[in-house]
Amino acid sequence: AERRKGNTGANLITLLESRLDNVVYRMGFGSTRSEARQLVSHRAIALNGRIAGVASMLVSAGDTISVRERARKQPRIQEALSLAEQSGFPSWVEVDPRKFEGRFKSVPDRGEVAQDVNESLVVELYSR
């Protein structure tokens, strides 16, 4: 985040929001970030049609994330997706719950991400 141009804190938030496990969570395939990470590590998620097994992969704008056919029957995924449908999806993802598929439309700006994090304090802590 520090090597990129611009505000280091905003860059950090953008990088964290672009991780595959976080995008899987934001699309509603997992009810928590931990569950989304487990789905990725257990190879239940495909990125652009290819099996993804690394949760820290960065997702680019336009990438398609889907739940693999064998994992679609899992009740936890179906329940998480129905809960996410009720609460709504962020503006930077587009999800088709019937296909268990979503598209990462764009990298979110700092203003689109939850405001309850003071990223300057995080940057200050790790810059010591």
DSSP state of 6: S
> Sorting pLDDT into bands at 50, 70 and 90, what band is 25?
very high
> Sorting pLDDT into bands at 50, 70 and 90, what band is 1?
low
Average pLDDT, the chain: 87
For residue range 52-71, list pLDDT tens digits in order.
989 999 999 999 999 999 99
Domains of the chain: 8-108 (3.10.290.10)
pTM confidence score: 0.84
pLDDT at 60: 93
Cβ partners under 8 Å of residue 124, min gap 6? none
> What is the maximum span of the chain, computed from C-alpha positions, in angstroms?
47
How far are the Cα atoms of 4, 22, 49, 54, 97 from residue 39, in angstroms, in the given order? Answer: 30, 11, 16, 10, 17
